[in-house]
Amino acid sequence: MASPKKKLQGLVAATITPMTEHGEINFSVIGQYVDYLVEEQGVKNIFVNGTTGEGLSLSVSERRQVAEAWVAKGRNKLDQVVIHVGALSLKDSQELARHAAEIGADGIAVIAPFFLKPWNKDALINFLKEVAAAAPTLPFYYYHIPALTGVKIRAEELLDGIQDKIPTFQGLKFSDTDLLDFGQCVDQNRQQQFAFLFGVDEQLLSALVMGATGAVGSTYNYMGKKTNQMLEAFKRKDFSSALNHQFCIQRFINFVLKLGFGVSQTKAIMTLVSGIPVGPPRPPLQKASREFIDNAKAKLKSLDFLSSTDLKDGNLESCS
């Protein structure tokens, strides 16, 4: 059975795939991006080619190159690099899984195929098992994101007996708000050393109470430091501080969600906060609007998430 160097825990940034204005992948900023995550955000684990990374909008060849770049630039800097290898074609998924093992990634994750869908647990397990078998030395994570895949099989049901079918299974990335399902995954698998990674950043504190061992998300790219403060407060059982941090994070996410928030807006915010030009998204997604960027910038400033001191004085909303 695959056993990772150490259990995947803490924050995992769902990396953005940097692109040029012409829609090509901008590999040249990936080294700078790794340094920014580690040095400025205190985030040492990454999840590559997932939702935020527009993995399903890249060709297989691009996905291989992106995975290679993150593994190479992250060497001796990052703790773990997990590659999302889910695809509609089992063959593509297996190729990407094999490739992740060849390049020395630390794990692979797979979403449910979402066009011709598996309609029951056995069909989904069968697909996942075939992908996992292509990389028998790598820890395998199931990426549960029913709102995007449309595959509603409960994670609790899927996890029941999963290691008998997929011996490399090491954990769950749970991107859903059903805390009953999440809690039951934790409760019913207490004897296992699985990683339970929550994927709804604005609700992470609730998931920590429910037993999450870590979190994968888009906002850890630029709010990792703030979220780490929440994790530290939770660890030392300072729940009042932890809640203040979560509320602060919620103030920002709630604000942008109301404006319309997705991968395009994540890319714009990352460029704004980090100064790393991660570029526009690839069609069918469209660039974030100027109006969104201006509003998000003002909100980030008012919450002290930007280094600028412009609006600091007398600002009641500040989270610092």
The residues annotated as belonging to the active site are 143, 173
- 150 sits in the region (left: phi over 0; alpha: psi -120 to 50; else beta) called left
Selected binder of ligand SI3 within 94, 213, 219, 246 (CB under 6 A) = 219
Binding flags for ligand SI3, 167-186, as an x/- string (CB under 6 A): --------x-----------
- Residues 196 and 211: their CA atoms lie apart, in Å, by 8
Helix (H) or strand (E) holding 255: helix 239-259
Q: Is 217 in the site for ligand SI3 (CB under 6 A)?
A: yes
Q: Is 189 in the site for ligand SI3 (CB under 6 A)?
A: no
- Residues 151 and 167: their CA atoms lie apart, in Å, by 23
Q: Is 137 annotated as a binding residue?
A: no
User: What residue type is assigned to position 304 of the chain?
Assistant: D
Q: Is 70 in the site for ligand SI3 (CB under 6 A)?
A: no
Q: Nearer Cβ to ligand SI3, position 99 or 144?
A: 144
Shortest approach of ligand SI3 to residue 169 CB, angstroms?
Answer: 18
Query: Quick check: 25 and 65 in contact, CB under 8 A?
Result: yes
Selected binder of ligand SI3 within 8, 14, 25, 108 (CB under 6 A) = 14
Number of residues that bind ligand SI3 (CB under 6 A): 15
Reported as half-sphere exposure (CB side, CA atoms, 13 A), residue 208 has a value of 25
Q: Is 253 in the site for ligand SI3 (CB under 6 A)?
A: yes
- Which of 34-42, 95-103, 187-195, 198-206 is the region at the interface with ligand SI3 (rule: CB under 6 A)? 198-206
Selected binder of ligand SI3 within 41, 184, 213, 218 (CB under 6 A) = 218
Within 197-238, where are the H helices? 204-209, 220-235
- Residues 184 and 165: their CA atoms lie apart, in Å, by 20
Q: Is 199 in the site for ligand SI3 (CB under 6 A)?
A: yes
- Which of 31-39, 59-67, 215-223, 232-240 is the region at the interface with ligand SI3 (rule: CB under 6 A)? 215-223
Query: Quick check: 110 and 86 in contact, CB under 8 A?
Result: yes
User: What residue type is assigned to position 176 of the chain?
Assistant: D
Q: Is 106 in the site for ligand SI3 (CB under 6 A)?
A: no
- Residues 108 and 80: their CA atoms lie apart, in Å, by 11
Q: Is 264 in the site for ligand SI3 (CB under 6 A)?
A: no
Of residues 49-68, those binding ligand SI3 (CB under 6 A)? 50-52
Q: Is 227 annotated as a binding residue?
A: no
Where are the extended beta strands (E) located within the chain?
10-14, 45-48, 80-84, 107-111, 140-144, 169-174, 195-198, 214-217
Q: Which residues bind ligand SI3 (CB under 6 A)?
A: 14, 47, 50-52, 175, 199-202, 216-219, 253
* Residue list, annotated binding site for pyruvate: 52, 216
